[in-house]
Amino acid sequence: MKSGTNWLGSLLSSHEAISVVGEFHWDEVVSAFNNSLKQLPVYQSEDAKENARFNFEEMVRKTVESYAEPTATLIGERTPTTIIPIPIRNVPHISILRDGRDVLVSRAFHLYNNPETTRLFDRIPEMNEMLQKFRSDPWYFQKHPEDLLCHQEMVRDSIRFWSEHLERDELAVSLYPKLKIKFVRYEDLHRDVSQERKKLFEFLDVDPSKSSKILGHLKPGFKKERPSEFLRKGSVGDWTNYFTEQNKDWFKEYAGKQLIQYGYETSFDW
């Protein structure tokens, strides 16, 4: 979440053979289904398990396909979740990675724009006070950048979300070594969107020349920031505009190792 999944989906759909549609959030459904396969007596035999799995995957395929462009030969969806649990086996997966500090800032704006999506506003009364200021003035946090990430529980919650996502995708690679997975960095897409899109098409075995030009919403970021919009800014390094020294300490404590592990920093000295 907040790592460019909508942009990535649009870039993929710019190819004449590809249609990436919607967020279906199969993860909870798949987890419950997997538990049923393990626990219910009706699925004791391997044949029963495989038959149920096949029918489940067919349901997923047909559901997603019903939303796709009718001319597409390669269909996908863009739920911003981890690779596992896997809704359909043996199909390509693309995972986008973004600097967790930028994810934190982007998610904070998302929460203030969509307070109904979290219980943090119930647990942290001070966030409600900040919410009213933001609603009165959408540019409040640009004028008072130190206030965006001043609540430690919200910051910790968001950092944990990012860190656990990385760990689960690493686990997917370990558990399913034959699964076709492509990792792409948000920052690489910004730096050279044309070349990175070409690599993605090659990964999916489609001809890169059969795609549209990178114009309009396919370009990196936005010319003007839109603090009250779902697609707000789309920039790289925006965290430097909002992080206080306290925010840096919190991030280093909760996920500083991941920043180094994934090449966003070389040490804790930032």
> What is the residue extent of each domain of the chain?
5-22+67-261
Average model confidence (pLDDT) for the chain? 95
**DSSP code at position 75:** E
Predicted confidence band at 89 (pLDDT cuts at 50, 70, 90)? Answer: very high
The three-state secondary structure class of 97 is strand
Predicted confidence band at 29 (pLDDT cuts at 50, 70, 90)? Answer: very high
Q: How far apart are CA 220 and CA 192, in angstroms?
A: 9
Q: How far apart are CA 198 and CA 211, in angstroms?
A: 9
pLDDT digits (tens, 9 = 90+) for 141-200: 999 999 999 999 999 999 999 999 999 999 999 999 999 999 999 999 999 999 999 999
Lowest-confidence region among 51-60, 97-106, 109-118, 219-228: 219-228
Q: What is the pLDDT of residue 234?
A: 82
Q: How far apart are CA 175 and CA 84, in angstroms?
A: 10
Predicted confidence band at 231 (pLDDT cuts at 50, 70, 90)? Answer: confident
Q: How far apart are CA 256 and CA 215, in angstroms?
A: 36
Q: How far apart are CA 122 and CA 119, in angstroms?
A: 5
Instruction: Determine what percent of the chain is predicted with pLDDT higher than 90.
Output: 91
Going from the C-alpha of 43 to that of each of 26, 40, 54, the distances in angstroms are: 21, 6, 13
Q: Is pLDDT of 223 > 80?
A: no
8 A C-beta contact, residue 37 and residue 43: yes
Q: What is the pLDDT of residue 266?
A: 97
**What top-level class would CATH report for the domain 5-22+67-261?**
alpha beta
Q: What is the pLDDT of residue 224?
A: 82
